[in-house]
Each structure stands twice: as C-alpha cells, then as structure tokens.
Amino acid sequence: MPSFEEFGLDPAILKSLEKMNYKEASAIQAEAIPLILQNRDLIALSKTGSGKTAACAIPICHLVDTHSRNIQALIVVPTRELALQYATEAQKIGDEKGVKAFAIYGGEDASMQQSKLKHGVQVLVATPGRLIDFIYSRQIDLTHVKTIILDEADEMLSMGFYDDLEFIIQCLVQDHQTLLFSATMPKEIGIIARTHMKDPLEIKLTSADVSPKTIEHQFLYCRHQDRENALIDLMDDLNPHQSLIFCHSRIECEKVCKAMQKHFIGVDYLHAGLSQDMRSTITNKFRTGKIHFLIATDVASRGLDFSSVSHVFIYHLGDDPDVYVHRSGRTGRFDKAGVVVTLVTDRELHTLKIILGKIGREPIWIGPAPSRTQRTIAATQATKPETDSSAP
C-alpha cells in the first residue's frame, strides 16, 4: 500500500498523520484520496473497518482554506455517536494545519452549537435532523460548501432519511463535489447519483467475501428461555478481552445488562433512549477500556470504531442478514482477529441459513448443532418476529 507522502498532501496534514501513527494508506484510502483531490464526484463502497472515515477526512482537511472561517466541507452521518467520532478524527487530521472541525446533532443544546459555528468551523459533521433544524431557522451558512459527503449512506436510507438527504443536497445551489460512502448499494443510492452527482466514479471494495476472513463466526444453539444463562456461561468460558453484546430493543438491552451485572464487573448498556451526555460518556468509557461488556442496540452497529473489541455476541439475531454483517463488523477492525458468537433459537434457524449464504461460511457450533428435523421445520415456515414496542 502507498504511503501518505505519495498523495502530495500538505506537510501539516502529513505531520498530523505521523502523530496519529498513520503510516500506509488502506485500500479505500489509496483509491479514494487521489480522486477526491481531483474534485471528482465519487461513490465509494467499502466494508466496515476499512478506513473510510480517514479516506474522506484526509483530502478534505488538505483542501480546507484555513484563512476562511466558513463551512467548506459538510459531512452528513446517521447517528450522534458517528458524528462525534467523525469530527474528532477530522480535527486530529487537520490539527497541525489549523483546521476547525465540529459536529452538530440532536440531544445537545442547539444554542451552544450555534455559538461554535459563529466562531468559525470549516469542516462540519451533522446528523440530518439537527442540520435541517439549523437550515430552517437560518442559523447556518452553507453557501461556501465545496464538498458534501454522505457517510454510511445505506444506513441513513434504511433509517428513512431519503427525503432529508434530498432536501439537504438541494440546499447547496452552488457548484460542489459530492462524495457518497457506503457499505452496500441500495437502489436509492443510484437515484441520488443520477439526480445530484456529476459523472460519479465508483470504487467498489466490497468483494463477495462480505465478512473479513479475520473474523470467526461461531453459533450456540439454545432454547429461547435459556438465552440469558447461555450468554453468561459463554462469557465465563471465552473470557473475552472486550465485547459488544447486541440486543433487539431497549428493554431487552437493559434486562440483559442487569443479569450480567450480577456476575461481572465493567458492564453497561447503550441505546437511543439515553441522554446524549450519557451516550457519550458510555462510548468513551468503552473506548478507554473502563467498560468490558457493553450491551447495545443497533445504535452501536454502524460506523463506530471500537478497536479493542475481541468478541461480538449477538443475543437476539433478528430477521435482517445485513444487520448481522454490520454487527459482526464491530470486531476484526483493520484486519485484526475477531470472534462473533450468535445465540440461535428455533425461530431464528431460517434467518441463520440466509446469513450463512450471505457471508459464505459454514457454521461453527459451540456445543450440539440443531437437528436435521429442527432445521427442516425452520426452513419451511416463516419465522414470527418477537414483538417489542421499544425502538433501538
């Protein structure tokens, strides 16, 4: 892989990258950075953990005119946590050059965010809802934006943000560059490309191997009512360095957390029902290793970089195979080894078959595998989802 010096980057950017111990570009960085520097519109498809954030933030910070206090790059992301992570990464990359990066998102005082914008922000990261609030109230000037980036675009579309993204893009009436980063290619991305992008180039690094080879996928077959005890036994047996445990809903998340706290220390939970301050505190504690077991809904399944996660446990599999891929991508980051352990009940065997086909793997069972009869029943009848009124 090329070194960052080969891209002709600003010496101040290179100094920041050296401080961050960035030595060689990843595959997505090697392909995307030169094209972004050439002002090309770009659709970049790359698997999770591939370095997409830096692939965008490095050239953006290089291009920023630090003599101007105006917003020059606008990055739109699906979640508050990802917005904060992206802004932090961009600030580090642009630090030596004097680039000012900032994130605006719901759950924080809008007046404080507005005050920060007035002091000058050149790289703005935003969630769609808060950004649109600022646009409607005329509290933000986007007339100097030269580049708009839609990051985790497929996730934003799956969350119902298509109309919001359309509105945001249409607010940029000046000539600008559009960059779209995604793990998958839903049809709506094609619509956005045809409508708003200028002859976009496409980088596709999402090979048929949807899940990195460094991730081992293991499965434990159990009864629905035994899942809680099965999870605790797994933690005792595997002794993970640091783990994420994915649940279906807020209620399930808190219930599993309460059960695990009776047996282990360093246990907490994360879901969208918590205040933003609490979510930020928990995320930071997990990153710094103060939390060893984090039970979470899918608010933690996309984009967030938890580099020390050795194991992902999927307590409740759910019906969407893509969700499994994104959850499993929280381990094995940047080609590190990782393990994903999924609890599978009778009602989830049908979904499991689809997932195995998608990731191209044979199941590795911890303990006895389900019988042929059980697998046949699951394959011939629709699985009824478990109902829970709480959202992630």
pLDDT digits (tens, 9 = 90+) for 151-195: 988 888 878 888 999 999 999 999 999 999 887 777 888 888 888
Q: Which amino acid is at 38?
A: Q
Whether residue 208 is predicted with pLDDT greater than 60 in this model: the reply is no
| Domain shared by 171 and 287, yes or no | no
Kindly state whether residue 385 falls inside one of the protein's structural domains: no
Most confident of 35-49, 51-65, 313-327, 359-373: 51-65
The CATH number of whichever domain residue 175 belongs to comes to: 3.40.50.300
pLDDT of residue 380: 46
Domain boundary among 204, 224, 259: 204
189 and 228 both lie in a single domain = no
Average confidence score pLDDT of the chain: 86
Number of structural domains in the chain: 2
Mean pLDDT of 279-302: 85
388's torsion region: left (phi>0), alpha (psi -120 to 50) or beta? beta
What's the rounded Cα separation, in Å, for the pair 116 and 240? 41
Statement: the pTM of the whole predicted model exceeds 0.85? no
Q: Are 245 and 256 in contact (CB under 8 A)?
A: yes
pLDDT digits (tens, 9 = 90+) for 365-392: 998 888 765 554 444 444 444 444 445 6
Closest to 189 in 3D by CA, of 152, 234, 141, 237: 152
Report the alpha-carbon distance of residue 388 to residue 386 in Å, rounded.
7
Lowest mean pLDDT among 121-130, 170-179, 234-243, 327-336: 327-336
| Distance, CA of 270 to CA of 250 (rounded, Å) | 8
Check whether residue 200 and residue 226 sit in a common domain.
no
DSSP per-residue letters across 52-96: HHHHHHHHHHHH--TT--S--EEEE-SSHHHHHHHHHHHHHHTTT
For residues 310-328, give the mean pLDDT: 83
Do 285 and 255 lie in one domain? The reply is yes
Within a domain: 241: yes
The one-letter amino acid code at 245 reads I
Domain boundary (204, 229, 262) is at 204
pLDDT of residue 205: 72
Q: Is residue 271 part of a domain?
A: yes
Residues 224 and 349 both lie in one domain: yes
Cβ 330 vs Cβ 304: under 8 Å: yes
pLDDT digits (tens, 9 = 90+) for 216-267: 899 999 998 999 999 999 999 998 989 999 998 899 999 999 999 999 999 9
Strand partners, 147: 73, 177
Nearest-angstrom CA–CA distance, 323 and 58: 29
| pLDDT of amino acid 124 | 97
- Give the pLDDT of residue 383: 41
Q: What is the mean predicted confidence (pLDDT) over 44-64?
A: 86
Rounded to the nearest 5°, which phi and psi values hold at 73? -135, 130
Q: Is residue 390 part of a domain?
A: no
Please tell me whether residue 43 adopts helix, strand or coil conformation.
strand
Greatest distance between any 2 Cα atoms in the chain: 70
Same domain flag for 193 and 224:
no
Q: How confident is the model at residue 72 (pLDDT cuts 50, 70, 90)?
A: very high
Does a structural domain hold residue 391?
Answer: no
User: Are residues 191 and 230 both part of a single domain?
Assistant: no
Asked if residue 45 and residue 183 are part of one domain, the reply reads yes
Instruction: Say yes or no: 20 and 158 in one domain.
Output: yes
| Domain assignment of residue 209, yes or no | no
* Angstrom distances, CA of residue 230 to CA of 64, 237, 319, 355: 52, 10, 21, 22
Q: Which of 204, 227, 257 is the last residue of a domain?
A: 204
Contact 206, 43 (CB under 8 A): no
Alpha carbon of 256 to those of 166, 218, 387: distances in Å? Answer: 39, 20, 17
Residue 148: domain span: 4-204
Q: Residue 220: which of 339, 342, 346 has the closest Cα?
A: 342
With respect to residue 8, please indicate whether it lies within any of the assigned structural domains.
yes
Interior angle at CA 367, CA 363 and CA 372, nearest 5: 60
Query: How does 180-216 read in b/e, with b if 16+ C-beta sit within 10 Å?
Result: bbbbbbeebbeebbeebbeebeebebbeeebbbeebb
Count CA within 13 A, CB hemisphere, residue 233. 10
How many of the other CB atoms lie within 10 Å of CB of 237?
A: 9
Residue 100 or 27, more confident:
100
190 shares a domain with 44: yes
Which segments of 127-273 are extended strands (E)?
A: 147-150, 177-182, 201-204, 215-221, 243-246, 267-270
The percent of residues in the chain predicted with pLDDT above 90, rounded, is 50
